[in-house]
Amino acid sequence: MNTQFDAIVIGAGAAGLMCALTAGQRGLRVLVLDHANKAGKKILMSGGGRCNFTNTGASPANFVSANKHFCKSALARYTPWHFIALVERHRIAYHEKELGQLFCDDSSKQIVAMLLAECAHAGVEIRTHCTIERVEHTDAGHYRLHTPQGHFTSAALVVASGGLSIPSMGASGFGYQLAKQFGQHVLPTRAGLVPLTLSGKHAERLQDLAGVSLPVEATCNGVSFRNFMLITHRGISGPSILQISSYWQPGDDLRLDLLPGIDGAQQLADWQRTRRDTELKTVLGEVLPKRFAQRLCEHWMINKPLRQYTPAELHAIAELLAAWPLIASGSEGYRTAEVTLGGVDTDGLSSSTLQSKTIPGLYFIGEVVDVTGWLGGYNFQWAWASGHAAGMAIGG
C-alpha cells in the first residue's frame, strides 16, 4: 500500500475532487480521504437531484465574506465556462433555468461520475469510510494522517471538508478544528440559505397559510432579493427568503415588498377612483393570493370599502405593502441550511493559491472557507474555482 503522497485532500466533495483531479493532472500523487460512505454526497442531493452546477453570471458580488475581494482571484482563473467545457466534454446534457442557473437535464449523479472519472484518469486515489483520527505536522514539514486504514504522509494537506450544513450527509466541524490546530483564525459560523422561523403573533397569524406562495422583494441590511416567498408550517421559505437569510441575523429588521414592481400608492389611488364600493381585501386579493390578502386585512390593516379611506390611511397601507415588517425568530439551522456562513478566515490564506500564509503546504478550499455564495449555482462555482486554484498551486 502506498502511504506517501504529494498531497492529501480531506473531503471528497465538490472542492476536494476538483482540487485532486487538477493536482493529479499535473502529475502529482494525490490521495483523497472522506469519512462518508461515498464521494460527492452533497452534489448528489443538490439542485433537487439535478445539480445546479454553476451560474453563468457568477461574479464576486454574488458571495458573502468578511473580505469581499478574496474570492476574485480564484473565480477569475476558473470561470463557469471552464466547468461548462468539462461538462460538455463528458457529454452531460444541461439546461438553463432562471438567471444563468445551469442544471443537468438528467441527474446530479452525472457530475459525480464525471469528477470521479477525471480523478481516476489523473491517478488520484480515493478512500471513503475513512475517519481521520489525528493530523500531525512533522519536524520535516510533512503532514502525517492517522486513520483506521493506516498512516498516510504528504508534503501538502488540503482541507476540503465543507461546512456544517446537513450533518446527516457527512458534514462536520472537522475543518474548523483542524484550522484551529494549525493556528488559523476561524470566524463564527451560522446557517445560510435557510428557511426562517416565526414565533408568537406572526406564527399564529400565518401558520394555517402554509403552502401559500407569492412574489416578494425581501430586504435586510441594505440587500434585496426579488423572488418567491413560501409560507411554511414553521415560518417562511422560498428563494427570496433563502437568499436574504444569508444577510439576516436575529434582531435584524426584515422587510418584504408584497407588490414588487408595482407602485402601491398609485395602484391604491386608482382603485379608490374606479372601485369605490369594493373592499380593500377584495382588490388586494386580485394581486396577492386571496387568503393572504384577507389575513393582511384582518391583522395588519383595516378593511372597508375603498371610498371610506382617507389619503393618510391609503398612504399608510401603501407603505405597509412596500415594506411589510416580518419578525423572524430564528432560522431552521444547519439541519436544512444549504450552506454555512463564516469559517476559516480569509485573512490567513493566499487568495491566489488558498494556501495558509503561515503554514507551508496547508490549504483550505470550498465551503470551509469564509466565502459563501448566493442560491443559484454560485456555491459550486466557488468549490470548483477554489479547488482548481489550490490544485494548480500545490507543489509549485
Question: Which residues of the shown chain bind ligand FAD in the complex (CB under 6 A)?
Answer: 10-16, 33-36, 41-42, 45-47, 51-52, 132, 160-162, 165-166, 170, 172, 174, 338-339, 366-367, 377-380, 383
Q: Which of 34/125 has CB closer to ligand FAD? A: 34
CB of 34 to ligand FAD, least distance (A): 4
Provide the Cα torsion 293, 295, 300, 305; round to 10°.
Answer: 60
Report the C-alpha gap between 149 and 130 in whole angstroms: 7
Q: Which residues contact 235 (CB under 8 A, 6 or more apart)?
A: 195, 196, 197, 198, 203, 328, 329, 332
Q: Which of 44/327 has CB closer to ligand FAD? A: 44
User: Are the beta carbons of 84 and 92 closer than 8 angstroms?
Assistant: no
CB of 160 to ligand FAD, least distance (A): 5
CB of 226 to ligand FAD, least distance (A): 20
Q: Which of 165/282 has CB closer to ligand FAD? A: 165
CB of 11 to ligand FAD, least distance (A): 3
CB of 386 to ligand FAD, least distance (A): 8
Alpha helices in 26-173 (DSSP H): 41-45, 72-77, 80-89, 109-121
Report the C-alpha gap between 394 and 84 in whole angstroms: 24
Query: Which residue in the shown chain puts its C-beta closest to ligand FAD?
Result: 13
Q: In the sheet that 52-55 helps form, which strands lie side by side, from edge to edge? A: 52-55, 101-104, 94-96
User: Are the beta carbons of 79 and 380 closer than 8 angstroms?
Assistant: no
User: Are the beta carbons of 365 and 15 closer than 8 angstroms?
Assistant: yes
CA atoms within 13 A on the CB side of 327: 8
Q: Which of 54/197 has CB closer to ligand FAD? A: 54
Q: Which of 264/342 has CB closer to ligand FAD? A: 342
CB of 369 to ligand FAD, least distance (A): 8
Report the C-alpha gap between 78 and 105 in whole angstroms: 23
Q: Which of 53/309 has CB closer to ligand FAD? A: 53
Report the C-alpha gap between 107 and 249 in whole angstroms: 35
Q: Which of 181/308 has CB closer to ligand FAD? A: 181
CB of 36 to ligand FAD, least distance (A): 4
Pick the closest to residue 374 from 287, 217, 244, 181 (CA basis). Answer: 244
